[in-house]
Amino acid sequence: MKKYNITDNTLAILPMGDKNSLVYEVDKMLVINNKPNNIIKYNCEIDGSSYDIRVNYYRNITGNMYKSPILVKNRNYLVFFPTCSPRIKNVSWLNIKSINNVYLNEDNNSSVIELINGDKINFKESLWALNNQILKASRFEFLLRKKEA
């Protein structure tokens, strides 16, 4: 499968090798023959916009310039955030609504994100960096909802 339609059940999109993605859904995992960034960009387009427009939208609302969370789907404020710079080929994207907990794995000094379905994913990014991304994405979602009220 080359195209993937992000839904409320999509929890995370992780790189798998050079050309594939591992997609975590609430009740299953899928291998998609496309890179995480391409999946995010495709879903922005099918939602009636472009990735670049969505990045600029985030920057206009928040004033932040780097590692921008993206409003992937207008419906239900589906916001995904990158774990590192989207320019890096090994970027992962997480649904802000899918995060249950974030903590340090002291065994290998990595960060762990626990998803709402109980799945745990290790990341090389620091706990501080992941918490900062979660905060940015949460703030963005809050500002989107506030704007609609």
Domains of the chain by residue range:
10-97+127-148
Q: What is the pLDDT of residue 2?
A: 79
CA dist., res. 75 & res. 15, Å (int): 25
Q: What is the pLDDT of residue 46?
A: 94
CB neighbour list of residue 41: distance below 8 Å, 6 or more residues apart: 50, 51
Q: What is the pLDDT of residue 47?
A: 92
Q: What is the pLDDT of residue 111?
A: 96
Q: What is the pLDDT of residue 12?
A: 98
Q: What angle do CA 136, 138, 92 make, to 5 degrees?
A: 65
In eight-state DSSP terms, residue 11 is: E
Q: Which two tokens stand for residue 2?
A: 């080359």
In eight-state DSSP terms, residue 95 is: E
- Give pTM, 2 decimals: 0.94
Q: What is the pLDDT of residue 1?
A: 61
CA dist., res. 121 & res. 114, Å (int): 6
Parts of the chain with a pLDDT under 50: none
